[in-house]
Amino acid sequence: MIFWYIVLAIVILLFMVLVHEFGHYVAGKILKFKITEFSVGFGFPIFSKTNKKTGEKFSLRVFPLGGYCAFDGEDDDKVSDSPTAFNNQKPWKRIIVFFAGVTANFLTAIIFSWILLCTIGYDVPQIVSYNQVNYQNPYQVGDVIRQINGKEVDFAFGVNFVDAVNEERQNAIKYYEEIGIENLDGLEIEDYYTFEMTVDRDGNLVDLEIKVYPNVEVDQENNQYINSYIGLESASSEEACTRPYVYGAWEGFCRSFEMAFGFAWVVLKSLWMLITFQIPITEMGGTITTISMMANYASQSLNYLLIFIPLIAANLAVFNILPFPALDGSHVLFTVIEWIRGKPINRKVENMIHFIGICILFAFVILVDILHFVL
């Protein structure tokens, strides 16, 4: 059975890559670029058909993990005299074509996010119990937590309830550190830091004023520090403290943009943390790792797989927009430099830079896959 989940994961990943290349294709057609080939996969062709009217070749190649859209004269080392050559088109047109693939990936992330939010929904935190003896806050069992100080809280957008509350508690800690530990005992409840929590209570949105209770604690080295509490803690089972929330068509459409770009932001943050050595390289994954994770999600539930699709689409968009040689972002950078200079960079040099870049990328992807499974 796992074999078919792996096949499904490969098909989805291939679809995501083809969406990217199809974005280039559509933009090229609209701007009247001459397209020589649209290929599904790499390696030698197992099927190909040429459009006699346009001269475009459509190919299916032996290795299905990827694809490409080839333009006339795109990789020529020398400047071509052909008016249809890719590098002879106006810079702004080429930039649009380069960005079209990334745009297609973002649109895919938005569409699948919309489908997800309006059909399956997404888990939101709900209160299953609370400490009403030591902390005087107006909770009720069954309250679904929707906002903290006006910020939407749900797992769909990477805004975990615990993280959102800790952000508010951190504000409280800073505040009480300013007035000094020795003064805490004299504070009245009314003086404690508060923030606003909006809950869905039986279908109605209710605003609650939540009091943050500071407490002086001692660590193992006998150092005093301030912690703060609101009468809630994480449940032992995630299923017990969450429930799915299905969005309406319009609300889901609006939130799908936030969800897609939220995924992109998560990818950017992860890249930055990797570059600055905040996370080890073993936390990253290449193509094989991605397929393995998708197959694992699919084996648990197709719902989990649907959650993964917009993340993969946003991931492809972010990586391709980076100004690293061989990626779309670097092609845009070279085109902008050409536009400013008024003449192109030596094509042979540029192509060599992109070739080195793609070799580095392939080596990196293989390396992170090996490290992910070995370490």
347-374 and 328-341 helices, crossing angle to 10°: 160
Percent of the chain with pLDDT over 70: 80
Q: DSSP assignment, residue 182?
A: G
Question: Rounded to whole angstroms, how far apart are CA atoms 289 and 6?
Answer: 11
Question: Is the separation of the CB atoms in 333 and 124 below 8 Å?
Answer: no
272 to each of 159, 280, 314, how far by Cα in Å?
19, 12, 16
Q: What is the pLDDT of residue 169?
A: 54
Confidence band for 156, pLDDT divided at 50, 70 and 90: very low
Which residues constitute the domain of residue 168?
A: 123-245
Determine which of 152-166, 204-218, 271-285, 342-356 has the lowest per-residue pLDDT on average: 152-166
Question: Within a domain: residue 268?
Answer: no
pLDDT greater than 80 at residue 290: yes
Q: What is the pLDDT of residue 171?
A: 54
Question: Within a domain: residue 145?
Answer: yes
| Digit-coded pLDDT (tens) for 188-214 | 545 567 788 888 888 788 999 888 777
Q: What is the pLDDT of residue 29?
A: 92
Return phi, psi of residue 153, to 5°: -120, 110
Confidence band for 179, pLDDT divided at 50, 70 and 90: very low
357-363 mean pLDDT: 89
pLDDT greater than 90 at residue 100: yes
Question: Within a domain: residue 139?
Answer: yes
Confidence band for 98, pLDDT divided at 50, 70 and 90: very high
Question: Is the separation of the CB atoms in 234 and 241 below 8 Å?
Answer: yes
The model's pTM is 0.75
Tell whether 139 and 111 lie within a shared domain.
no
320-344 mean pLDDT: 91
Which of 32-46, 132-146, 289-303 is modeled with the greatest confidence?
32-46
Question: Within a domain: residue 262?
Answer: no
Question: Within a domain: residue 9?
Answer: yes
Tell whether 24 and 97 lie within a shared domain.
yes
Tokens of 277: 């050595």
Tell whether 137 and 112 lie within a shared domain.
no
Tell whether 170 and 217 lie within a shared domain.
yes
Confidence band for 294, pLDDT divided at 50, 70 and 90: confident
Where do the H-state alpha helices sit in 342-374?
Answer: 347-374
Tell whether 114 and 138 lie within a shared domain.
no
Tell whether 238 and 306 lie within a shared domain.
no
Q: What is the pLDDT of residue 351?
A: 86
Tell whether 320 and 335 lie within a shared domain.
yes
How many folded domains does the chain comprise? 2
Question: Within a domain: residue 267?
Answer: no
Question: Within a domain: residue 254?
Answer: no
The strand ranges marked E within 126-262 are 144-148, 151-152, 194-201, 204-211, 213-218, 224-229, 242-245
Question: Within a domain: residue 300?
Answer: yes
> Chain-centre distance of CA 43, in angstroms?
30
| Digit-coded pLDDT (tens) for 73-92 | 787 666 566 777 788 889 99
Q: What is the pLDDT of residue 12?
A: 87
Tell whether 115 and 155 lie within a shared domain.
no
Percent of the chain with pLDDT over 90: 22
Tell whether 209 and 173 lie within a shared domain.
yes
Tell whether 235 and 313 lie within a shared domain.
no
Tell whether 127 and 116 lie within a shared domain.
no
- The residues with which 217 forms a beta bridge, in sequence order, are 225
pLDDT greater than 90 at residue 95: yes
Three-state secondary structure readout of 66-102? EEEEEECCCCCCCCCCCCCCHHHCCHHHHHHHHHHHH
Question: Is the separation of the CB atoms in 67 and 48 below 8 Å?
Answer: no
Tell whether 292 and 233 lie within a shared domain.
no
| Digit-coded pLDDT (tens) for 241-266 | 566 778 889 988 988 998 888 888 88
